[in-house]
Structure 1
């Protein structure tokens, strides 16, 4: 099993003047600890589960490009980009640029978007949920076409691209892995089965909830003739990690128990957001007691 680190919070003890150094150090520590991937949210205002809207929030793709320059191996992705924020042709170009400059380390995380507050605040149109999903599907079609090198015109309901040229092309072949975030059973998981290389399911659903979502994904795959095994299954959790679980935190052994349960469900990669991410000791703990053991877990359904 692989572990990923999502950085959700950019309000650090050192203050805004040192934000770049603090975030860069987190990226470096994550790579040294053995994390497989590093993720940031694609938001412009901080979300309420993390802090007030006024807290520092970095633009996601720029932050990943910065992290790419501070690291060498770790994969990089947004968890996940809202479809409303950027024109699809520009978004594919942005993701391709990250993949090229990082020597093939980009994920293409994408979803239907949800945070109406930041849309209204920044003047970004916020269509209905149904329209956002239609736009998401068109964007997935455009991304696959551009990464194939097909420059023929694209004419959709919402987007028209006369010449979807993408040069240079992505390093990863056939393209950076497409992760579609969310666990909606009728639309989101169907899009994963049809277009995605990876799904992401909230760990807050619990073991049985995750099991149920994966079964729905399997059913969509069967209907579409897509091998279920081709899709990388990932989860997202938030926790404070300590060696002994003091003061209601999660201990290393508790985290490993949880990761073992996820592996039994067939989860390939567990992405965690650490509430104590600025503590260097937590990375030592992960490097010595968690990640090496988690990598030994056999993921159900994988040879």
Structure 2
């Protein structure tokens, strides 16, 4: 099982965030993730750093850590530009980019920025066209594509990405109508949000049907799980840690009940169960304020309990 850390970049100090990325690298986390929003959702006065610029800085300031965004918002960047940005950052980082992409999640953000929103069907259609263009660009060959939303003609992409066949593409979500068909066609990793875990058997069956429709082996798609991590050093500290997690992550979208709240022994047991169920990687959501202590405790007390 692979482990990543998701630290929403709700900070004004890029140096501090780089320090967290270096802690992740030192303590054995394979990936480091940020969000892609124009401002902190629901908190427009809160300092927040832009995703792509932040990812570039983090990759340039680390040596082995892989960095990505859960997930890039498709409507923020034209696919031609997005493909060039991703390829360039993969070159700059020596092949350490994780490419997460989604259709967008905050309508108010789009309204403020004057960006198109549209129905779920429209956003998914735009996302599908972007994925088609970007995956073709990742091959290094000139790309021609004419869709309902985007059009490119003999578009070069030189240099292409370092990673072969391409930087891993992460698609997240649990929607059988729009998300899973795109996962089956394009994803290297299906990122299952916590709220999707309880429906995972049905969603897995739906994904397998979508894979069959495009003649793809579903075993070629890795499964990752994104969830809150609230780690208590011991039983005595657990009530306060749980109360703080419930206050911060109590909204249904966080799916805290299916996250990781407990002592090192409790969390290690949960992770072993998830690994046995077919989860290949876990991305832990933590706040910037608690990230360093959590990563240190996880490395010292959880990892040694796991048979990896």
**1:281: Cα distance to partner?**
2.8
Matched residue, 1:137: 128
Equivalent residue number for residue 64 of structure 2: 73
Q: Do 1:238 and 1:275's aligned partners in 2 also have CA atoms closer than 8 Å?
A: no
Q: Do structure 1's residue 291 and structure 2's residue 303 form an aligned pair?
A: yes
Equivalent-residue separation in structure 1 for 2:114 and 2:290 (angstroms): 33
**1:36–1:152 Cα change, 3 Å:** closer
Q: Distance in 1 between matches of 2:104 and 2:116?
A: 11
Secondary structure of the residue aligned to 1:89 is helix
Alignment of 1:92-131 (within 5 A): 92-131=83-122
SS state of the match for residue 154, structure 1? Answer: strand
Aligned to 2:178: 187
Is residue 224–residue 280 contact of structure 2 (8 Å, CA) maintained in 1? yes
* Aligned counterpart in structure 1 of residue 282 of structure 2, from 265, 270, 274: 270
Instruction: Report if aligned partners of 1:26, 1:277 keep a CA contact under 8 Å in 2.
Output: no
Task: Map residues 1-303 of structure 1 onto 2, 5 A cutoff.
Answer: 1-11=1-11, 16=12, 19-48=13-42, 52-206=43-197, 208-244=198-234, 245-249=238-242, 250=261, 251-275=263-287, 277-278=289-290, 280-294=292-306, 296-297=307-308
**SS of aligned partner of 1:163:** strand
Question: What CA deviation, in whole Å up to 9, does each residue of 1:167-212 have, x standing for no partner?
Answer: 1110001110111121111221111111111111112344x33343
Contact 2:265 2:305 in 1 (8 A): no
Q: 1:24 Cα shift? A: 0.6
> How many residue pairs were aligned?
286
Question: What secondary structure sits across from 2:199 in the alignment?
Answer: helix
Shift of 1:233: 0.5
Task: Between 164-173 and 236-245, report the one with greater CA deviation.
Answer: 236-245
SS in 1 for 2:3: strand
Q: For the residues of structure 1 that align with 2:292 and 2:136, how far apart are their CA atoms?
A: 43
What do you get for the CA RMSD once the two structures are aligned? 1.7
Unaligned runs of 5+ in 2: 243-260
Match of 1:301 in 2: none
Quick check: 132-141 or 244-253, which moved more? 244-253
> Post-superposition shift, 1:276?
6.0
How far apart are 1:225 and its partner, in Å? 1.8
Contact 2:9 2:35 in 1 (8 A): no
Unaligned runs of 5+ in 1: 298-303
Task: Return the alpha-carbon distance in structure 1 between the equivalents of residues 111 and 27 of structure 2.
Answer: 39
Match of 2:257 in 1: none
Contact kept, 8 Å, 2:20 with 2:291, in 1: the verdict is: no
| Alpha-carbon shift at residue 122 of structure 1 (Å) | 1.6
